[in-house]
């Protein structure tokens, strides 16, 4: 029995011992922090070996392949990092868990005597040329580097006019560098020239209840009437704002959700008894775009962040702006999280519940409307 226990201990110890790590053409070491059996590798080596984009900001690190991203919180404590599946800051090095990264980015992961992490070479499918625009399609997501009057598609291969195969990937010669390069998804890379017509962020205000669903009755008012009045006052103070309903009508949740999918900011308005102001945020976000946006907004330059907020956002940043705007009125927002359907959208979605005592007069409603509008403007800046 002692021999069996000793043998089992040795097997477990060997399973957690550092192992060789091969990432593309790069060689390193896979570590097992916390003895949990989850292999970790150094982010710089992984990015170099597979041509991945790498971002590191305060408290987090992210790796990207085309339109796909995987972000990890950055934790210095070895055991805590392993328990959470977070990135591990080991002195000057940052290591990330290999299997979750592979699953998120579609990498090939093999564990034998060592760990193998690789990407099959992407195959060029087509090149569509239009006025001041190129759309290049591959068999999988790729990263691209603009280098002078050319673009290098990493770990890609193909043939065609202006294309040349290199050790690192497929190079496309251009007459001039593109003004923009982006990844719409599905293995596509778009190159564009000329000035960009910047899209405008859209704000969706959702007056709760309506029609046969009156909501609560408070102080002689129906909730459905107060929310509609407040939403119209907020909309009048913002550019490019719209409402889920303009009149006293019932709008099903599914219809509200459908409108919210394309909104940069969505504020669902409700009323409660008393004078409290409550702010509800999503506990978790199901959209990959939404999850990636939170990580990217933490590190993106201001101009890029403003553009990203048109399509996806961070409700916690919007919550901070709302808290500051209401504090100017002497009000403290009570914040909570939960599975609120209308807040789980790509944009920055929150549910705001205002006490009826704050909405009894037109002047009071104007004050609240201005605070909400100011917070939205601040968030979108």
Rounded to two decimals, what is the model's pTM? 0.56
Q: Is 90 exceeded by the pLDDT of residue 196?
A: no
Strand-pair partners of 31? 40
Buried b (16+ CB within 10 A) or exposed e, 100-138: ebbebbebeeeeeebbbbbbebbebeebeeeeeebebbb
Q: What pLDDT, on a 0 to 100 scale, did the predictor assign at position 36? A: 79
- For 251, the token pair is 């709008």
Phi then psi dihedrals of residue 327, to 5 deg: -65, -30
Reported as a pLDDT band with limits 50, 70 and 90, residue 16 is low
Q: Which DSSP letter does residue 377 get?
A: H
Lowest mean pLDDT among 26-40, 169-183, 259-273, 302-316: 302-316
Q: What pLDDT, on a 0 to 100 scale, did the predictor assign at position 164? A: 97
Q: How are strands ordered across the β-sheet holding 241-243? A: 241-243, 203-207, 265-272, 348-355, 277-282, 333-338
Strand-pair partners of 205? 243, 267
Cα–Cα distance for residue pair 74/62, rounded to 1 Å: 10
Q: Is 90 exceeded by the pLDDT of residue 235?
A: yes
Q: What pLDDT, on a 0 to 100 scale, did the predictor assign at position 324? A: 97
Cα–Cα distance for residue pair 354/368, rounded to 1 Å: 9
Q: Is 80 exceeded by the pLDDT of residue 31?
A: yes
Cα–Cα distance for residue pair 298/239, rounded to 1 Å: 25
Mean pLDDT of 226-250: 96
Rounded to the nearest integer, the mean pLDDT of the chain is 90
Reported as a pLDDT band with limits 50, 70 and 90, residue 340 is confident
């Amino acid at each position: 029995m002692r021999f069996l226990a000793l043998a089992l201990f040795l097997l477990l110890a060997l399973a957690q011992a550092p192992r060789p790590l091969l990432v593309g053409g790069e060689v390193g070491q896979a570590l097992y922090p916390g003895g949990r059996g989850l292999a970790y590798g150094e982010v710089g080596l992984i990015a170099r070996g597979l041509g991945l984009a790498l971002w590191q900001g305060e408290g987090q690190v992210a790796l990207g392949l085309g339109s796909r991203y995987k972000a990890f919180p950055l934790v210095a404590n070895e055991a805590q990092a392993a328990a959470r599946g977070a990135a591990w800051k080991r002195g000057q090095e940052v290591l990330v868990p290999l299997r979750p990264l592979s699953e998120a980015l579609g990498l090939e992961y093999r564990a034998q005597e060592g760990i193998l992490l690789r990407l099959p070479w992407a195959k060029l499918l087509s090149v569509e040329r239009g006025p001041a625009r190129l759309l290049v399609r591959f068999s999988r997501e790729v990263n691209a580097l603009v280098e002078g009057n050319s673009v290098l598609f990493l770990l890609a291969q193909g043939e065609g006019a202006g294309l040349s195969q290199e050790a690192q990937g497929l190079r496309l010669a251009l007459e001039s560098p593109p003004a923009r390069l982006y990844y719409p998804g599905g293995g596509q890379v778009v190159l564009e020239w000329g000035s960009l017509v910047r899209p405008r962020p859209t704000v969706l205000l959702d007056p709760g209840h309506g029609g046969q669903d009156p909501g609560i009755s408070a102080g002689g008012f129906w909730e459905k009437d107060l929310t509609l009045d407040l939403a119209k006052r907020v909309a009048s103070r913002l550019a490019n704002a719209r409402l889920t309903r303009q009149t006293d009508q019932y709008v099903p949740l599914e219809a509200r959700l459908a409108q919210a999918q394309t909104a940069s900011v969505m504020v669902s308005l409700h009323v409660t008894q008393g004078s409290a102001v409550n702010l509800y945020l999503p506990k978790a976000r199901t959209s990959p775009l939404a999850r990636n946006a939170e990580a990217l907004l933490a590190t993106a330059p201001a101009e890029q962040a403003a553009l990203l907020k048109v399509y996806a956002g961070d409700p916690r940043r919007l919550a901070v702006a709302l808290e500051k705007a209401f504090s100017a009125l002497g009000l403290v927002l009570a914040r909570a999280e939960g599975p609120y359907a209308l807040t789980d959208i790509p944009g920055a979605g929150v549910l705001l519940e205002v006490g009826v005592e704050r909405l009894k007069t037109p002047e009071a409603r104007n004050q609240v409307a201005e605070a909400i509008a100011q917070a939205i403007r601040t968030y979108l800046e």
